[in-house]
Structure 1
Amino acid sequence: MSVNILIVDDREENIIALEALLRRDDINILSTTSPNEALRIAWENPISIALVDVQMPDIDGFELVEMLKANPRTKDILIIFVTAISKESKYAVKGFGTGAVDYLYKPLDPYITAAKVDSFIQLAQHQQDIKAKNEELQNFAIMVKNSADIITTVDAKTFRILSINQAVSKILGYQVAELDNKSIIDLAAAHEHSKFRKKLSEIVNNNLAYAVAEYQFETFDKHTIWAECRITYSNKILFINISDVSPQKSYQQELIKSKDAADASRKVKESFLANMSHELRTPVNGIIGLTNMLRKGELDEHQRNIVDLLDVSSQSLLGVINDVLDISKIEAGKFSIIRKPNDIRQIVQATFDLLKYKADEKNIDLLLEIDNDVPNCLLFDALRLNQILMNLLSNAIKFTERGYVKLVLSVLQKVDSNVKIKFSVTDTGIGIASDRLAKIFDSFEQAEDDTLVKYGGTGLGLTIVKKLIELKGGELTVSSQIGVGSVFNFTNWYAVTDTPKAEIKDLTPKKALVPFIDVHVLVAEDNLVNQFMMSKMLKDWNVNFEIVDNGQKVLDKLLAKDFDLILMDTHMPEMNGYDAAKNIRMNFAEPKRSIPIISLSAATFDHEQQQALSAGMNDILSKPFQPHHLHEKMQKLIDISKGKQLV
């Protein structure tokens, strides 16, 4: 820290001599031959030491020093008189009386002069440090006094309050004088005393420099507030900053309540949707199964047409149910995209072939173009891509009365082993007004108000398409003109894979379902139509079976008889399938404890399927299902079970 020294002497040569004698890096010398100029310099600069000549014309050194000491701004300057007059005591007394701290006598001894000035420089530096610290302490004192938080110092041994600021009056209602030497613990609510004391003791015992904790404090008028305590420990003193965080705590608690309410609402919605899924899909499963059975009988043309209409109606109803459930899953964040190696051309062609008959029925052309540079095998979710294309193409066919619907696949960009593909669905249909384009992707919205009456549908297809494309990381755009047609484009990046076509499984059954030999199955199903359908199916497969309509009867039957397999509906009265499966796995002895169980449920939510597996079921088959899927799962589990028994 640099020290300013002022030299005042009416002779220039004396100033030069002193400057030469005193010059060093840690001092800054200012000098003048005029006492009046000296006053100005001292006023404008922070002077720590002044070397003043006693004998000067007009104003002598004593008078100059008196004026310096009389001014609050310059009164703390350390004065050293430099004189050639007598060393008599009366002169020394007069100099010290005006405020000087020492004398230097001419001719100056360089060693004595340097030594004295050095000691006073050190003193001046200490004074500067003390002054800076005092100013800092004063600033801290002002800050503590005016702080909105309670700031207190506490004896680390007794927890007695040593000092506390005025904020305690505003926050807790106590006067500062009332808390003198009181325990800080007493400010906390009674039920918090032991926790607060334990925390403070832990900080002291472990010599923790800093800690934060929240406690409830009690005000003078017996109200409770939440307080955040920031605690610092040093030199056997606890410094505690106490903030009233009741508003934040209240807001936080409201957020927690809101979250709990939202969670409860979500669970109610999920439960409702799960029940709706089961109650709707179960009878649809029965209708589809009965339709398939009727087809196998001897029907005339009229009867076959009725069965075909019944099948179309049930499939349409199933599509509506699936749309509603898909939207619910997506909005609940329970919809997952599963990417696997697939043949893009095969998937697109299959979708195209499936919808070709619809276009043919309306006498419109359904066209497909796949650019040559589109890779065969890509990593994507075939089920969801099929769902997107089915929605876009069936929508285009529905709203096109003449002309064509065309699907085009093209490559927009290639980067390393990734390719950006554009799917474009163009139609010559009725078109969409520009002011309705943004709304067609909203749930339950149609392009026009009379569209539902004229064309039908749930208004969910495009909503699902948009959400699926966004989940896959793609982008969907649309352009349209009334009476001309519409173009739906979606683009997405895909990873190119080397998996050959041979590795892509074809799930279509290739052969007739063979009968089972000496297999006993227990069926748990409460729906009469499904019971009838399951009976017919199992009879065709030469299966010995018994049917019960709730979980308790499953347990009773299994206690009384042996079975090779259980087909278990999950939603049943009295005892559901989950509880029945758990009971078997926990309370039955082997080998019945390990009997294979297949969950046959209309549940489509992932958490319900996971619940079935957690309950101990071996496999899951969602209603409605194809007979060959059930046959395959039954055969697999029976083979595994018999293999274990042989071992």
Structure 2
Amino acid sequence: MSAVNILVVDDREENIVALEALLRRDDINIISTTSPNEALRIAWENQISIALVDVQMPEIDGFELVEMLKANPRTKDILIIFVTAISKESKYAVKGFGTGAVDYLYKPLDPYITSAKVDAFIQLAQHQKDIKEKNEELQNYAIMVKNSADIITTVDAKTFRILSINQAVKKLLGYQVNELEQTSIVDMAVPDDQPKLRKKLSEIVNNNMSFAVAEYQLETFDKRTIWAECRITYNNKILFINISDVSPQKSYQQELIKSKEAAEHSRKVKESFLANMSHELRTPVNGILGLTNMLRKGDLDEHQRNIVDLLDVSSQSLLGVINDVLDISKIEAGKFSIIRKNNNVRQVVQATFDLLKYKADEKNIDLLLEIDSDVPQCLLFDALRLNQILMNLLSNAIKFTERGYVKLVLSVLQNVESNVKVKFSVIDTGIGIATDRLAKIFESFEQAEDDTLTKYGGTGLGLTIVKKLIELKGGELTVSSQIGSGSVFNFTNWYAVADAPKAEKIDGNKQRSLTPFIDVHVLVAEDNLVNQFMMSKMLKDWNVNFEIVDNGQKVLDKLLAKDFDLILMDTHMPEMNGYDAAKTIRMNFAEPKRSIPIISLSAATFDHEQQQALSAGMNDILSKPFQPYQLHEKMQHLLEISKGKQLA
């Protein structure tokens, strides 16, 4: 509580000193003067609550001073106590009270009476001050309520009837104030929201909640609907409700929800399209590659072998384009994962280099490799994606270089504890890229020049994939180039140094070591005729007894009629797909058929499709196109597990 200002006015200094000695305490602030004129100035400039005024003073006596104080609006509320030594006759008291005094103190002053009276008036002054402040607050609140853009209303907590409401209701809902007073606040809501509003208000009252926020639709006078945010406070059997029109925000929110739902629908449509495209394109390519592999095993002359080789190269090229499109889609959908493992970086780089060496030799250009001695042998990185990055950059460099060389350089830029910053540089002496086209070459389906596609071919996706892969790995890609002189692509990234992995024995000729199966019966579900032919040839070579059907329903019919050891199931088939067929087997068939091993043979490349296959009950997944040894390994593994369970 702030100190109370007390003004002491007496023409004699010793009287002031005596009064100050009597009144001194922490909750008051004494201001004194011997001049009535000075007293007027002090009262004007300071918030004086009590004035102790001597009656007998030269020039202006106490009565005249008090009359002037009471005549001024700024000082009229000061509590006046006269201090006098003149007669105690009633006529003087009447005159003093008539000028506005509230009490008298008579000289000589009695310390106890003086202290008691002043204390009483200090308390009175404090109460007056508090009342004044509260009145100012109420006035300010009234002004705020009156001019508020929100509806502010008080509501009876028992009946929910409106006790008071401000003028904003006319602007927001179109009602006059007197039309709503003593009506139920619940009736302001649209019919569907009235039970919810009533329930909320009852909950607030019953649980004695001090504050709550909720949104409801309110009905206007002209039968329109607005969304309102209601901020509700409960105190002393009264509900205080502040209602804001949030229709614009709600409309924007609903538009965002619709946009999100549309985007989600569009994403699902795109994913479905890409999944189907993946299956429809990769399935025939799988057939072409399989048939090519079979033709190679035949007795071919040199001309025929060259034709088969060209067929294989064309198929691999088509598969590369398909994979590029799918990779871009997966990256943009945020479903592309980077898997870091302990790998020998020198071996991975050397393998990529060796794979592309023949392309450089065909064009009679040099393909060079430089790996600095301080590059660690083993790092934690995704070998598949690093290979993809280097294959794209080196293939591009070779494609656009007619003479000279293409060089791959590995160097260490920084070495901090067990982490190194490695720089990969692909340098060529090719045609170069114009400065104004450098930024565009990383955009999907863009080429360095408008006629590049005609001259050199390609999808324009390679560098886009490279840039996105490097960014996903946390690295940075830069390029510098000059027309006619060549280009330099650099990408840098931090890697954790790893210990050398244990050497694994690698079977270099898996295809020749594929042993026949003994008394194995397999049901194949495949609707593509070429793939049916391939599977037939493959399984015959392995002495497998098999039957082939072309949809999921026929799988169920065959399995009901006969026993099989394994099912090879394509996922995309007419009438009933592989997912539904697998689910039906796992849920509706009796043992041991319910637990028959199922391998998904699908052209699907999206993670969610592979997860869908596992969720449907399939035991393993093999994506098309695949090598025969890969299928052989999975079949052998699952048959061994199944045989072990039967023996147990």
Fold match by TM threshold 0.5: yes
TM-aligned CA distance change 1:408 to 1:530, over 3 Å:
same
Using the TM superposition, name which of 71-80 and 151-160 deviates more: 151-160
Corresponding residue SS for 1:93 = helix
> Counterparts of 1:149-164 in structure 2 under 5 Å?
149-164=150-165
In the alignment of these two chains, the number of paired residues is 647
The whole-number CA distance in structure 1 between the counterparts of 2:459 and 2:138 is 74
SS in 2 for 1:566: strand
How far off is 1:390 after superposition?
A: 0.6
Aligned partner of residue 503 in structure 2, secondary structure: helix
> What amino acid is the match of 1:93?
V
Q: Which residue of 2 aligns with 1:174?
A: 175
**Residue of structure 1 equivalent to 2:318:** 317
* CA positional deviation for 1:276: 0.7
Amino acid at match of 2:93: A
CA distance in structure 1 between the aligned counterparts of 2:181 and 2:34, rounded to whole angstroms: 58
3-state SS of 1:516 partner: coil
Residue 511 of structure 1: how far off its partner (Å): 4.9
Partner of 2:239: 238
C-alpha deviation, 1:282, in angstroms = 0.8
Per-residue CA deviation, residues 583-641 of structure 1 (Å, 9 max, x unaligned), is 11111111111111111111111111111111111111111111111111111111111
Distance 2:513 2:505 in 1: 22
The 1:444–1:351 alpha-carbon spacing in structure 2 relative to 1, beyond 3 Å, is same
**Residue 368 of structure 1: how far off its partner (Å):** 1.2
What code does the residue aligned with 1:358 have? K
Question: What is the aligned partner in structure 2 of residue 586 from structure 1?
Answer: 587
Q: Which piece of structure 1 moves more, 528-537 or 493-502?
A: 493-502
Alignment of 1:457-468 (within 5 A): 457-468=458-469
Task: Give the distance between the partners of 1:500 and 1:262, measured in 2 at CA.
Answer: 45
**Deviation of the 1:286 alpha carbon:** 0.7
Q: Deviations over 1:374-398 (max 9, x none)?
A: 1112111111111001111111111
Residues 383-437 of structure 1, C-alpha deviations (whole Å, 9 max, x = no match): 1111001111111111111111111111111222211111111111111111111
Check conservation: 2:342, 2:501, Cα contact below 8 A.
Answer: no
What displacement does 1:505 show? 7.4
- Matched residues in 2 for 1:126 and 1:2: separation? 13
Q: Does 1:95 align with 2:96?
A: yes
Higher mean C-alpha deviation, range 495-504 or range 512-521: 495-504
Aligned equivalent of 2:54? 53
Indicate if the aligned counterparts of 1:582 and 1:615 stay in contact, CA closer than 8 A.
yes
Give 1:25-174 correspondences, 5 Å limit: 25-174=26-175
Q: Does 1:433 align with 2:434?
A: yes
Counterpart amino acid of 1:482? I
Q: Give SS of 1:162's match.
A: strand
Q: CA deviation at 1:60?
A: 1.9
User: Per the alignment, do residues 513 and 141 of structure 1 end up closer, same or farther by CA in structure 2, a change over 3 Å counting?
Assistant: same
- Determine if contact 1:342/1:504 at 8 Å carries over to the other structure: no
1:510 shift after superposition: 7.6
Q: CA–CA distance in 1 between the matches of 2:561 and 2:39?
A: 119
Pair 1:379 & 2:380 matched: yes
The percent identity for this pair of structures is: 89
Question: Match of 2:242, SS?
Answer: strand
Query: Deviations for 1:58-86, whole angstroms, at most 9, x for unmatched residues?
Result: 32211221121121111110000111121
Counterpart amino acid of 2:301?
A: D
Q: Which amino acid aligns with 1:230?
A: R
Q: Distance in 2 between matches of 1:100 and 1:387?
A: 99
Partner of 1:617: 618
C-alpha distance in structure 1 between counterparts of 2:173 and 2:505, whole Å: 73
With over 3 angstroms needed to count, the CA separation of the structure-2 counterparts of 1:505 and 1:90, relative to structure 1, is farther
| 8 A Cα contact 1:377 1:501, kept in partner | no
Deviation per CA, 1:480-536: give whole Å up to 9, x if none.
111111111111111112242426978973852111111111111111111111111
In 2, distance between residues paired with 1:65 and 1:511?
123
Q: Distance in 2 between matches of 1:617 and 1:607?
A: 14
Which residue identity lines up with residue 439 of structure 2 in the other structure? Answer: A
Letter in 2 for 1:58: E
Take 1:546 and 1:429, find their aligned partners in 2: how far apart are those partners? 55
1:444-483 equivalences under 5 Å are 444-483=445-484
CA RMSD of the aligned region, Å? Answer: 1.5
Match status 1:530 vs 2:526: no
TM-score of the pair, normalised by structure 1: 0.98
Contact conserved, 1:343 with 1:504, CA < 8 A, in 2? no
Q: CA deviation at 1:582?
A: 1.0
Secondary structure at 1:80 match in 2: strand
Which moved further from structure 2: 50-59 or 530-539?
A: 50-59
Partners of 1:355 and 1:394 within 8 A in 2: yes
Instruction: Give the letter aligned to residue 137 of structure 2.
Output: E
* Alpha-carbon distance in 1 for matches of 2:76, 2:510: 108
Whole-Å separation in 2 of the counterparts to 1:329 and 1:558 = 36
Listed one character per residue, the Cα deviations across residues 443-475 of structure 1 (whole Å, up to 9, x for unaligned) are 011111111111110000000000000000000
Q: CA deviation at 1:324?
A: 0.6
